Structure 1
């Protein structure tokens, strides 16, 4: 069964601290709207703007608030492998089944052997916890990624541990190459733009930022059994995605959530990001309203 995983946006309060109550309510809403799991502290969740202790405390708080641990997939990738190990170990100790990790991304132009060494270190430290790891490939942001041959090499070296890839390359040819080279892995496009083409080639679903806003419609594409109707539904979610991502994506998502929840504080982001300017909010909301009418 294909899955929808949503990298939840992270609300913050006036002191720029994580607003756990609002985050828990949002995660409950996402699961109710058809998300299979919450990808906690992904790019959309501003992961790199929060410290490891903040991220660990938030995971514990969400579980205490009734979000099942097995429906949370924390993002754990950091420039320091030791910090990735600490975040991943903590997630598995809390009962999470899977983590999603970036490669160490500060040093650029590193070799594939170097990235392999980092992942091997991570796996060896986590083996007693029976880890499941999804590789997060987002070269437009991280610049360091997981090329297809490296993914195959890691999957062969660590079967049952390296279980999938989130492909946020924005290049469906790369997704196709992953699907062809790694049929034993769960390959998730990082946008619903490629959801239906991916599903038709054996993809596992998608992990998408705009699931924060449009989870029900994305779920409907996954569940649609009529090919023609699936094409129509897919065109609708692609139009929605393109409307949102025409603005700064994280800020736009938070602006829509602020309107949806009647909570202006949802607009806030942590520096260095900036909230969506006031004069861009109404046009965004009007554009989305037109799409739903």
Structure 2
């Protein structure tokens, strides 16, 4: 299963209909929780997400609407005695905030997150299924965006296997060795591009935004303001819906998820209109709390 579970979509101030930030990416066997704002633990309950589902936590920066829920999530991981390691990625400059949130109140600590602070641009984790990297963004406090990239592979074509008489365990041998009885893997398969996901929160326009978004199948990106308030967005270190949409269009994003909306706007459709007017023609979601957005099927 590969899908985004939206736990909250408000920016600085939550509303009656929007909780503070929170996003869970289900990616095969991993559950990556991004930016757990206040109330995330309760939103997880509404969304059917358990503490046992979590394998990583990624915090972009330590403003409260992106991190105050960390205390409750860490305590829930302990209460439920999650048996596997949960790795936490966050700006290294905010180590003291992370420590305070992990120990905000008294509780029985049975499970400690594996700390993996992010000090600069580059790869921060590698697994058999993906590479996770970070890029520094432009915000009044240190902030990072995250990008998950699956390695490219090959898709086996059954008709070509049959034409060469390759069946059963021999298929696995061919995939492992790249050649079997004079038949190469290239002869019975086609390239399969790896899927890509990026998470871009509070930032002004900068080179890292486009680099994180490049070629993404699914891009989750803040659009705190509308273009009429572009000066305000720049002053406070944020994007407009039009800026996010233009970035996604230029980067070849397949599915764009806009989120992190200012409470000043009452009409969510305005973000969709602005994104379309800015030239984005792919799949578009104006995120609502508890939405579930599947990662697009492979090309």
Give the TM-score, by structure 1 length.
Answer: 0.39
Question: Which has the larger share of helix?
Answer: 1
Question: Which has the larger share of strand?
Answer: 2
Find the structure with the greater CA-based Rg: 2
Give the TM-score, by structure 2 length.
Answer: 0.39
